[in-house]
Structure 1
């Protein structure tokens, strides 16, 4: 049996641990206020992936906007608007809240709700 991801569900969070995932090298701009090796598009893709796994949805990541972050409980809390498309290619915006520790596999999707 081949298992690439282990997912555990809690009332407020979904934790995704990926074993053996390929990694890419990103270079952060020297004046960036985003923690090293953490980029809003990566976090947006993570949020859509975890939402799809949790809800058995088939959303496709389109983009991210209005991203901000601040330190929170030993990690960083990211709040952003993620645009995702459904099977009919209709794009919808979602308010997303993610908490994680940069440079680790400890990330949680705290909120993923449709913006009216």
Structure 2
């Protein structure tokens, strides 16, 4: 009987531990893109410029990805934080921009989300 009471007292602590510290959860960490010319990274950069242009009525031209980082999320998908060179018009001098995109590699374009797109102060 005493053993049963002790176990019942420990049960709420065990439940709290499982809820607060579930097994298998890990924090996502940013990883440097080793090759900014990689096809997937370049496509994400082009996606940023295209998606930004549509609602803003701009005609920015993607030039290249300078550098970037990726973050695989435990909940699924990947964040891409990229520094791009973007020209205001074709042939214009490119300027640096930073974009943040969430997406699932290999999925359709309508599942990708442009989170931010902003110029980088020189």
TM-score grouping bracket, smaller chain normalisation: 0.5 to 0.7
Equivalent runs, 1:97-108 vs 2, <5 Å: 97-105=100-108, 106-108=111-113
Choose which of 92, 111, 116 in structure 1 pairs with 2:116.
111
Choose which of 85, 91, 95 in structure 1 pairs with 2:94.
91
Where structure 2 has 5 or more consecutive residues not aligned to the other structure, the ranges are: 1-32
Equivalent runs, 1:6-21 vs 2, <5 Å: none
Q: Which residue of 2 aligns with 1:50?
A: 51
Q: What whole-Å deviation, never above 9, does each CA across 1:77-107 have from its counterpart, x for those lacking one?
A: 0001011101261211101100001111110
Relative to its length, the structure with more strand (as a share) is 1
Asked which structure has the greater RCO (Cα within 8 Å, sep 6+), the reply is: 1
Matches of 2:34 and 2:61 in 1, distance apart?
A: 28
Aligned residue for 2:70, secondary structure, equals strand
Would you say the 8 A contact 1:52–1:59 is kept in 2?
yes
Q: Which residue of 1 aligns with 2:9?
A: none
Larger radius of gyration between Structure 1 and Structure 2: 2
How many residue pairs get matched? 83
TM, length-normalised to structure 1: 0.64
Where structure 1 has 5 or more consecutive residues not aligned to the other structure, the ranges are: 1-31
Instruction: Identify the range of structure 1 (50-59 vs 81-90) with the bigger mean alpha-carbon deviation.
Output: 81-90
> Hey, which bits of structure 1, 4+ residues long, moved more than 3 A?
none
Relative to its length, the structure with more helix (as a share) is 2
